[in-house]
Amino acid sequence: MSRILTVGAAQLGPIQRDHSRASVVQRLIALLHQAHDHGVQLVVFPELALTTFFPRWFVDDISEADHWYETSMPNADTQPLFDEAKRLGIGFCLGYALIHTEADGTTHRYNVQTLVERDGSIVATYRKVHIPGHEHNEPDRPFQHAERYYFEPSTEGFGVWRAFDGLIGMMICNDRRWPESYRVMGLQGVEMILCGYNTPIHYVPDPSQDILQGFHNALVMQSGAYQNGTWVVGVAKGGVEEGVDSLGQSMIVAPSGQIVAEALTTDDELIVARCDLDWCARYKDTLFDFDRYRRPEMYGRITSQRGTVLPND
Ligand code: CDV
């Protein structure tokens, strides 16, 4: 028996500052139509897929940046995407910035992905756990990566949802570099992890990593997939956006760790794979039979400690 989920990784090329949400949504719908032609059931879009990657600019008054955030989902700009996906019977995962005001008047800003089922119902909205970059303006940098100024981290963590006849998890960009992200979902039986990303080629704190961006991107998603017996769908917003060159290399990774589809460009591009969710059991029930082989009593440091503690001399 097999449970085939046909997935499309809908990579986006750059979204410049002056591109309207309406024009971006038309690009998303064009990719949705390609996906329909390929029999895709679930389309995954990148992180912050409705706007340019605005954390590359710093503003002293954060409310000046509020126009980059969505206040609800769907909304007037994204409703055409929701309507067309429902009409075609395709589910999707969409990354965007969310601003939310509580009843007590406090305002919260998150980097999120919303998963939508084929009937148009919202499965879940995941908030990014690992927020990279910096909190303050760093004017000496060629561009900012001020995500820690613009986004609060999730307090809910990594969930796994019964959707698309399988067990689906989500993570966002920097989350993919941390083995804990995959393992927390692995411990909930995840069969497919959906991950949008924006990764500038130039890593300002250590430029020696620039030429390794593609290697590291593949390394983390392939190992996370294999070590947890899960499919991973990684989807980029690539190309030169407002002068910043970003990695493409969107990919669909099997539970074996093998890449089964990979983008050829850094522009709008759909890649597709027929993913057998039952393939996960080949790894989850053998080498990575967690219940049989894991030693959680040996891993206490992973949850009790954040930074490194060196051994005593
Ligand atoms: N959007 C991201 O989370 N980007 C990060 C930074 C460090 C480049 C990433 O891990 O790709």
What single DSSP character describes residue 148? Answer: H
Q: What is the pLDDT of residue 194?
A: 99
Say whether 93 sits in a helix, a strand or coil: strand
Atom of ligand 1 nearest to the CA of 177: 10
Residue 135 annotated as catalytic: no
**Using one digit for the tens of pLDDT, what is the confidence trace for 63-113?**
999 999 999 999 999 999 999 999 999 999 999 999 999 999 999 999 999
d(CA 249, CA 193): 17
Residue 47 annotated as catalytic: yes
DSSP run (H or E) holding 28: helix 21-37
pTM, 2 dp: 0.98
Q: How many whole angstroms from 173 Cα to the centroid of ligand 1?
A: 6
User: Is 197 near ligand 1, meaning CB less than 6 Å away?
Assistant: yes
d(CA 128, CA 144): 19
d(CA 252, CA 112): 21
Q: What is the pLDDT of residue 1?
A: 60
d(CA 65, CA 55): 9
Give the pLDDT mean for 18-25. 98
User: Is 229 near ligand 1, meaning CB less than 6 Å away?
Assistant: no
**Using one digit for the tens of pLDDT, what is the confidence trace for 227-274?**
999 999 999 999 999 999 999 999 999 999 999 999 999 999 999 999
User: Is 176 near ligand 1, meaning CB less than 6 Å away?
Assistant: no
Burial of 212 from C-beta contacts in 10 A (0-12 / 13-18 / 19+): exposed
User: Is 179 near ligand 1, meaning CB less than 6 Å away?
Assistant: no
DSSP run (H or E) holding 242: none
Residue 86 annotated as catalytic: no
- The residue type found at 151 is F
Atom of ligand 1 nearest to the CA of 47: 1
Residue nearest to atom 10 of ligand 1 (CA): 174
| Domains in the chain: boundaries | 4-304
User: Is 51 near ligand 1, meaning CB less than 6 Å away?
Assistant: no
Q: How many whole angstroms from 240 Cα to the centroid of ligand 1?
A: 16
Closest Cα to residue 230, out of 189, 184, 177?
189
User: Is 125 near ligand 1, meaning CB less than 6 Å away?
Assistant: no
Sign for the CA dihedral angle at 238, 240, 242, 243 comes to positive
What's the Cα-to-Cα distance from 81 to each of 17, 67, 110, 270, rounded to whole Å? 21, 20, 21, 16
Q: How many whole angstroms from 105 Cα to the centroid of ligand 1?
A: 30
What's the Cα-to-Cα distance from 60 to each of 135, 138, 257, rounded to whole Å? 11, 12, 43
HSE-up of residue 3 (Cα within 13 Å, Cβ side): 13
Closest Cα to residue 217, out of 256, 248, 182?
248
Q: How many whole angstroms from 132 Cα to the centroid of ligand 1?
A: 6
Instruction: Determine contact, residues 198/236, Cβ cutoff 8 Å.
Output: yes
- Rounded to 5°, angle at Cα 266 from 263 and 250: 35
Q: How many whole angstroms from 184 Cα to the centroid of ligand 1?
A: 20
User: Is 177 near ligand 1, meaning CB less than 6 Å away?
Assistant: yes
d(CA 134, CA 128): 15
pLDDT at 313 over 80: no
Residue nearest to atom 1 of ligand 1 (CA): 198
**Using one digit for the tens of pLDDT, what is the confidence trace for 124-152?**
999 999 999 999 999 999 999 999 999 99
Candidates 70, 93, 117, 173; catalytic one: 173
CB atoms within 10 A of CB 235: 29
Q: Which CATH fold would you assign to the domain 4-304? A: Nitrilase/N-carbamoyl-D-aminoacid amidohydrolase (3.60.110)
Task: Ligand 1 pocket test: pick from 53, 127, 173 the residue with the most ligand atoms within 8 Å of its Cβ.
Answer: 173
The mean of the pLDDT values for the chain is 98
**Using one digit for the tens of pLDDT, what is the confidence trace for 161-217?**
999 999 999 999 999 999 999 999 999 999 999 999 999 999 999 999 999 999 999
Q: How many whole angstroms from 65 Cα to the centroid of ligand 1?
A: 20
